[in-house]
């Protein structure tokens, strides 16, 4: 999760909401991603999507059953669906997303699918605090 947090901070360089993700297999990081939605202008460029694609490209296939995705914020509907399509084994989530979290907090869509990754919430204060301070700063800037 340390590496996912470091990646999350890179999102902020382009004004994106700080979210980072890594895919780990046998203790080795094989995919990295950070939220680039604003930077690219594409709503698909979430941290998880980028990390999953990189992991699959590294392995040469999309069967990530023996991989774990570490992500600083609970995945949305699209990224939960990507986890299913990439046959991800496990996801470890730093902070819950009360509005859009699709792995159990707002809703759990994984139970509706033909593949259900294991889900672990770590309630990592560093992940939620990073987001809180980003949005606080954003509000201050907008007021100013």
Exactly one of 48, 54, 65, 123 is catalytic; which is it?
Answer: 48
Q: Alpha-carbon distance 67 to 53, whole Å?
A: 13
Q: Alpha-carbon distance 82 to 74, whole Å?
A: 13
Of the two residues 112 and 132, which places its CB atom closer to its own copies in the complex? 112
Taking alpha carbons only, the member of 64, 114, 123, 62 closest to residue 92 is 123
Tell me whether residue 76 is annotated as binding.
yes
Within 64-123, which residues bind its own copies (CB under 8 A)? 76-82, 84-87, 99-100, 102, 106-107, 109, 112-114
**Nearest 10 degrees: CA dihedral of 65, 71, 77, 79?**
-50
Binding site for its own copies (CB under 8 A): 37, 41-44, 46, 49, 52-53, 56-57, 60-62, 76-82, 84-87, 99-100, 102, 106-107, 109, 112-114
Residues forming the active site: 48
Binding positions for Zn(2+): 46, 76, 79
């Amino acid at each position: 999760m340390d590496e996912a947090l470091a990646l999350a901070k890179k999102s902020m360089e382009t004004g994106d909401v700080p979210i980072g993700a890594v895919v780990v297999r046998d203790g080795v990081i094989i995919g990295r991603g950070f939220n680039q939605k604003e930077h690219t202008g594409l709503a698909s460029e979430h941290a998880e999507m980028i990390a999953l694609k990189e992991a699959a490209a590294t392995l040469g296939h999309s069967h990530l059953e023996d991989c774990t995705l570490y992500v600083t914020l609970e995945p949305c509907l699209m990224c939960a669906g990507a986890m299913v399509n990439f046959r991800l084994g496990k996801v470890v989530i730093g902070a819950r997303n009360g509005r859009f979290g699709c792995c159990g907090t707002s809703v759990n869509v994984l139970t509706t699918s033909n593949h259900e990754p294991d889900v672990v919430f770590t309630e990592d204060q560093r992940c939620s605090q990073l987001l809180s301070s980003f949005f606080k700063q954003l509000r201050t800037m907008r007021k100013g």
